[in-house]
Structure 1
Amino acid sequence: MERAPFFHDIADAPEGASAFWVTAADGVRLRVALLAPPPADARGTVLLFTGRTEYVEKYGPAATELQARGYGCLSLDWRGQGLSDRPLDDPATGHVGRFSEYQIDIDGLMRTAEALSLPAPFFLIAHSMGGGIGLRALHGKLPVRAAAFTGPMWGIALPAMLRPVAQILAALGHSTGFGHSFAPSTKPETYVLEAPFEDNTLTTDRQMFDWMRGQLRAHPELALGGPSMTWLHEAFTELRALREMPAPDLPCLTWVGGNERIVDIPAIRRQMTAWPKGKLIEIPGAEHEVMMEPEATRRAFFDATAELFGRAV
């Protein structure tokens, strides 16, 4: 496999972290990263699905936590973000033609896992948009023994009265030639560099917030702005379909911040109530990114996740 850039200067990833170019089945070039090489006595490999706007270097510290608990970690930049191919002339727009395209990306990820001879069993950690993609992949028989989600996008946080309006606008934009335009209220600038720390929707940990800012200032090519109208339309369509499916038959642990304002907490509660082997943990006062919250929360998440994975072997 051809080596791809990996920004060690910002990643805080385990020694030996590396990245590769992988061509998806439809020709899209993806960046796949071995964030944590498996330790000699590895307990398995974690597939880490990132959120919208994210990139693999953001999860270097998470990979360090996983490696310390006996797991290798493989992740990727979804098409349209990070260093993977971006389909539009304006690279600041988060765009995908259909949400099903993300499943093609997962096929590329699994081919990489096989090429690198990563040890089974496999497990899933998925955040935000990666949680929606991951839930669909579990229905598609992604070969994992257990899954952990943080702030999964199983619904988008909108006031109830605005939800139908947003769906109509997204559908109109998608169908009338404005599908590549930014969704309402979004813009080209990435949120992390625009928002002040005070009352931000990502984390209550100032050090982690500043660290994320530093990453994008050092490597602005990783930044991404708001989603396109087509992305939003496809997201609504996919979430409606996922709501109609029964819960996957495997152990699951889902964490969500009590002050979550990006994804829809009621949708998460409904999904987890219907998940026989699932457990929901709500963290009072926490924001969207549990793995970027203060150290005590991060440690609790990785300890509980490693225990879940250990029981599932």
Structure 2
Amino acid sequence: MDPASAPLFDDVAGGPPGGAAWWLRASDRVRIRIGCWRPEGAARGTVLLFPGRTEYVEKYGAAAADLAARGFATLAVDWRGQGLADRLLDDPRPGYIGHFPDYQRDVAAVVEAATRLDLPKPLFLLAHSMGGCIGLRALIEGAPVQACAFTGPMWGIRMPILLRPAAYGAAYIGPLLGLGGRLMPSTKPDNYVEMQAFDGNALTTDPGMYAMMQAQLSAHPDLGLGGPSVNWMRASLNEMADLARRPAPALPCVTFLGTCESIVSAEAIRDRMAGWPGGHLDMVEGARHEVMMEGPEIRAQVFDRIAALFSQSGGTGS
């Protein structure tokens, strides 16, 4: 079945002209949303952009513009349970997943849609945070991409040692007590950027990009998502532990890690990249968790590096 047209909030996306969105059905009939932007003229290929937890297609309009300026089309996705995709609980605010590999159903639908929409080949992967966890699994299982890039990938979660027993206890005991849909202790049902002022935020040092995120959710509250559920935490911990035991794929890769990262585990990222054949870890001085949402200088550095890798790996245009 061909993808059906879906809303794309151009008023806040800031993507290249001519963007469009579609609904997809994963193999278990969960509805997800994709958004696509193309560059002017011949394209070097299409970047499958895998967002993080709480994120949505429009948040990456600016990234799509950066990629389009370098000759690449972008296909971003609203994962199940977030953005405009089907929410998986009666209460739409907690981030929820039943089993982490369910996200691979979404990946399969995205890859199929790239073919049905006749998007420029070859395909590349750019994945952020939770999308980095989903993306790594997809690569290990043979996703048809030529090269990959990650920003702040969730290959481990940064967690103070004193909080780990309580967090692990909630994550593994909660579902047994029928509490899997509840928010993790100390988290809230509102989106992070709605609650957190720019000062002290863990995402970006750029006030303009932070204001953009806040404006997007203010204009379109349905895009927002709150803290992780107990079941999401259990599922993600299991997935990260399993992935840590698996070898990296033999695929050209660059991973960006801000020197001020405070959300995901820098140690897990360093360990993974130390064993990645042909992989490179790029430390971004002064950046926080979302290097694609930093100031113009850092963004230019990051997207130039990504475009160079993808061009060297088959994205030379036609």
Q: TM-score, normalised by structure 2?
A: 0.96
CA distance in 1, matches of 2:164, 2:255: 24
Q: Secondary structure at the match of 1:280?
A: strand
In structure 1, the residue matched to 2:127 is 126
Using the TM superposition, give the Cα deviation of residue 168 of structure 1 relative to its aligned residue in structure 2, in angstroms: 2.5
Unmatched 5+ stretches in structure 2: none
Q: Does 1:7 align with 2:2?
A: no
1:158 matches 2:159: yes
How many angstroms apart in 1 are the aligned matches of 2:150 and 2:40?
A: 24
**Displacement of 1:166:** 1.8
Instruction: Give CA deviations for 1:178-225 in whole Å, capped at 9, x if unaligned.
Output: 000001111101110100111100000011111110010000110100
Partner AA of 2:248 in structure 1: A
SS in 2 for 1:162: helix
- Structure 2 counterparts to residues 106-121 of structure 1, below 5 A: 106-121=107-122
Secondary structure at the aligned position of 1:307 is classed as helix
2:29 pairs with one of 27, 32, 55: 27
* Contact 1:38 1:118 (8 Å CA) reproduced: no
Q: Give CA deviations for 1:256-294 in whole Å, capped at 9, x if unaligned.
A: 111111101001000011112111111222110000001
CA deviations over 1:118-173 (Å, ceiling 9, x no partner): 12111000000000000000001011111110000000010234334422220101
**Separation of aligned partners in 2, 1:93 and 1:126:** 22
What count of residue pairs does the alignment treat as equivalent? 312
Helix, strand or coil at the partner of 1:111: helix
Correspondence for 1:140: 141
What is the CA–CA distance in structure 1 between the aligned matches of 2:172 and 2:39, rounded to whole Å?
44
**Contact (CA 8 Å) 1:56, 1:76: kept in 2 or not?**
yes
Q: Distance in 2 between matches of 1:119 and 1:208?
A: 29
TM-score (norm 1): 0.98
| 1:157-306 superposed matches below 5 A | 157-306=158-307
Cα distance in 2 for partners of 1:272, 1:47 equals 21
1:48–1:125 CA contact under 8 A, matched in 2: yes
2:87 and 2:250 map into 1 onto residues whose CA distance is: 34
Q: Determine if contact 1:202/1:287 at 8 Å carries over to the other structure.
A: yes
- The answer as to whether partners of 2:16 and 2:39 remain within 8 angstroms in 1 is no
Structure 1 position 2, deviation (Å)? 1.6
Report the residue type matching 2:52 in the other structure.
G
User: Any conservation in 1 of the 2:125–2:148 contact (CA below 8 Å)?
Assistant: yes
- Bigger shift: residues 232-241 or 38-47: 38-47
Q: CA deviation at 1:296?
A: 0.3
1:40, distance to aligned residue in structure 2 (A): 3.0
Q: Deviations over 1:217-255 (max 9, x none)?
A: 000110100011000000000000000000110111000
Please say if 1:53 is aligned against 2:54: yes
Displacement over 4 Å in runs of 4+:
none
Task: Letter of the 1:264 partner, please give it.
Answer: S
> 8 Å contact 1:203–1:286 — kept in the other structure?
yes
The amino acid that maps onto 2:155 is: W
Name which of structure 1's ranges 165-174 and 148-157 shifts more when overlaid on structure 2. Answer: 165-174
- Separation (CA, whole Å) in 2 of partners of 1:191 and 1:40: 38
Unaligned runs of 5+ in 1: none
Q: Which amino acid aligns with 2:280?
A: K
CA distance in 1, matches of 2:258, 2:283: 6
Q: Which amino acid aligns with 2:133?
A: G
Letter in 1 for 2:286: G
Partner of 1:309: 310
Distance between the aligned counterparts of 2:156 and 2:71, measured in 1? 33
- Corresponding residue SS for 2:194: helix
Partners of 1:38 and 1:119 within 8 A in 2: no
